[in-house]
Structure 1
């Protein structure tokens, strides 16, 4: 991949990462509920899910998913159901201010956070279709594709590490402001509603014809 092409993709990847979506909501939810140090592990899972999408597209399976109505619908509704489940969990999360919680209460493990993040991105067919639409514009078909996909994956991973980390840090700073159960309950329900809203948006996403 030529430097000028990579710079163009690098700029595009920032816009892709910054744009609000299920990943951003998941990162902020993790920061809100677990603080930055633990919540940032959600970002690693989100990136793993994104890399799964890149591999799927690189292997050509993305085109099959985009072209097959049944495969697309199955993956889409699995993603919708998972986001709704996350929203319900967040809505019903304890209203105890996080600044007073102790680790003795059994915090969510880092591995579990990574798995949740992976699921958010890996079962999102909108991401597959988006990558199929964007990535080919930056590929030189006369050159080996494997190295180009590695460059694309590494670039997306880097920008997501930064942006999702910023979302996590922003939400974690809210911990200092959460002093009452009522405030915590309101924020839990706000994030729960955001998950459901993203799920509804995904439900309206249609396969390009």
Structure 2
């Protein structure tokens, strides 16, 4: 991939990653609940799903998913249901008083957090359609395509890891300001509302006409 093409793609990756979405909401939610180092496992799951989506597009399956109404709808409604389930769990989260000397956090299992992040990204059919529409614009058909897909996947993953680290870390810092169960309940329910809003937004997504 030519340097100028990669730089254009690099800038596009930052714009895409910084735009708020379900992944950003999940990263902030995990940062608040588990702290940075534990909550960051969620970001790993997001990237695994991203790599899978790029591989699907590179293999040509993405075109099938983009044109199949049934496949698109199945993935979409699974994503809606999962986001609503996350909203319910966040709403029901039990707050605990935080002390100044030590702030106990729930211990999230790394694999569970990775799986959570993976499902959030993997269950968004719009992401596959988006990747299918954007990535080919930066491909040079005269050069090996697999190598170019690997370069773009690595670029997207690195940029998104940095952005999600920012979201996770910012939320983990905010956690230190919470001192009462009432404050924590308010934040939990705010994130629950955001998850529900993301589900509602995903529910409105329609497959582009062929």
State TM-score, norm by structure 2: 0.95
Residue in 2 that maps onto 1:80: 80
SS in 1 for 2:176: helix
Q: Tell me if structure 1 keeps the 8 A contact 2:32–2:174.
A: yes
**Secondary structure of the residue that 1:135 maps to in structure 2?**
helix
- TM-score for the superposition, normalised by structure 1: 0.96
The CA deviation at 1:98 is 5.6
What is the number of equivalent residue pairs in this alignment? 207
Structure with a larger share of its residues in helix: 1
Deviations 1:98-118 (A, max 9, x none): 666646x6x220111011001
**Gap runs ≥5 in structure 1:** none
1:119 equivalenced with 2:131 (yes/no) = no
Does structure 1 retain, via aligned residues, the 8 Å contact 2:51–2:153? yes
Name stretches of at least 5 consecutive residues in structure 2 with no aligned partner.
none
Q: Is the CA contact (8 Å cut-off) linking 1:31 and 1:169 kept in structure 2?
A: yes
The residue that corresponds to 1:4 in the other structure is 4
Q: Distance in 2 between matches of 1:23 and 1:97?
A: 28
CA deviation profile, 1:64-115 (whole Å, cap 9, x unmatched): 1110000000000011111111111011111214666646x6x220111011
Runs of 4+ off more than 3 Å: 97-103
CA distance in 1, matches of 2:188, 2:37: 19
